[in-house]
């Protein structure tokens, strides 16, 4: 096994197609197919089930791919440690973030990071928390910034960056029959009771995402099951749907704070803290416990901690 061989097999496994993998690797498809056949001949076993569409790994292929990822990751960590010893400010970071964090929190972080490490390239992967954890464990990314998962994994290390309140965003059209919310002294957002909205439809994230479970659990805690009218994949879409009057939705404080109330289509949206519940979500940095953290990764973590410190203040 050599690096090129492993990279070629991984490309086919990840693309589930010889033609897509060849395009990604910038080589001719017949050459790639022949190369993989030679690898399989050398190993004495098939790595891919060519009778399936899309292309799937055989059991032997799954073993090969996982081993190859581990070897390539160890090779990368070796180069990173050698680079740190030489105090080089070059290299590549493979980071995973949730789409919301990528849009609203990371631009300022990356701008400051590039001032210190202009020669370091960042390969950014956007996905939900569950998938980011999987990619960390399989060595596809080095570090993730996302919401704390429902349960922690003993193979991963978690660094808390911030805890932020989750707000209920509701269009004014649903607020007509709701009791006047209690205004907390000095608070940026008024406070209301969630059960006032038991007859209002809800917009949530997909059922495999943490915000969905939070919505269902909070409603259950005050005695009702939410009428979910629509499920979205990202918070920005749920926010826009709430502004359009599709239904109420839970949003993080940072998103509510960022969007201008004068922004077209959002001026009729109200944001509430939830009395007695005060739901929160925690943003964390995650990496594998045995993973070597380069100087550039450590600096990136420091920048994120400094940038996000105090961001949840209701002032």
Q: What CATH number does domain 163-281 carry, 3.40.50.11810, 3.40.190.10, 3.40.47.10, 3.40.50.450? A: 3.40.190.10
* 3-class secondary structure, 117: coil
Q: What CATH number does domain 93-161+283-308 carry, 3.40.50.880, 3.40.50.620, 3.40.190.10, 3.40.50.1970? A: 3.40.190.10
**Pairing mode, if any, of strands 143-147 and 90-97?**
parallel
pLDDT score for 313? 45
Class of domain 1-88: mainly alpha
71-120 pLDDT per residue, tens:
888 888 787 777 775 666 778 889 999 888 888 888 999 999 999 888 88
Same fold, 93-161+283-308 and 163-281: yes
pLDDT score for 247? 95
Q: Where are the domains of the chain?
A: 1-88, 93-161+283-308, 163-281
Bridge-partner residues for 57, per DSSP? 48
pLDDT, averaged across the chain: 86
28-83 pLDDT per residue, tens:
999 999 999 999 998 999 999 998 889 999 999 999 998 998 888 888 878 777 77
Calculate the dihedral angle through the C-alpha atoms of 293, 296, 298, 300, rounding to the nearest 10 degrees: -130
217-242 pLDDT per residue, tens:
999 999 999 999 999 998 989 999 99
Residues 154-178: what's their mean pLDDT?
Answer: 87
Nearest-CA neighbor of 313 among 183, 160, 186?
186
Q: Could you tell me where the beta strands, DSSP code E, fall in 129-248?
A: 143-147, 156-171, 191-192, 201-205, 227-232
């Amino acid at each position: 096994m050599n690096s090129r061989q492993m990279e070629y097999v991984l490309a086919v496994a990840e693309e589930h197609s010889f033609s897509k993998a060849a395009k990604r690797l910038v080589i001719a498809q017949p050459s790639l197919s022949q190369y993989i056949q030679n690898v399989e001949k050398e190993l004495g076993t098939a790595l891919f089930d060519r009778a399936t569409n899309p292309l799937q790994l055989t059991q032997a292929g799954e073993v090969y791919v996982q081993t190859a990822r581990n070897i390539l990751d160890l090779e990368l960590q070796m180069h990173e440690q050698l680079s740190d010893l030489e105090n080089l400010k070059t290299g590549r970071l493979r980071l995973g973030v949730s789409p919301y964090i990528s849009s609203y929190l990371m631009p300022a972080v990356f701008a400051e990071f590039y001032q210190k490490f202009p020669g370091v390239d960042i390969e950014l992967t956007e996905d939900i928390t569950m998938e980011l954890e999987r990619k960390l464990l399989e060595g596809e990314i080095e570090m993730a910034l996302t919401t704390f998962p429902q349960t922690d994994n003993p193979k991963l290390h978690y660094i808390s960056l911030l805890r932020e309140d989750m707000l209920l965003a509701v269009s004014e059209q649903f607020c007509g029959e709701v009791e006047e919310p209690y205004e907390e002294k000095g608070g940026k957002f008024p406070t209301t009771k969630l059960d006032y909205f038991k007859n209002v439809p809800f917009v949530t994230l997909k059922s495999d995402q943490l915000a969905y479970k939070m919505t269902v659990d909070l409603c259950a805690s005050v005695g009702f099951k939410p009428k979910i009218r629509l499920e979205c994949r990202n918070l920005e879409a749920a926010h826009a749907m709430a502004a359009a009057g599709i239904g109420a939705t839970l949003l993080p404080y940072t998103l509510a704070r960022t969007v201008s109330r004068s922004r077209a289509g959002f001026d009729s949206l109200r944001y509430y803290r939830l009395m007695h519940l005060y739901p929160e979500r925690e943003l964390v940095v995650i990496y594998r416990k045995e993973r070597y953290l380069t100087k550039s990764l450590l600096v990136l973590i420091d920048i994120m901690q400094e940038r996000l410190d105090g961001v949840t203040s209701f002032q």
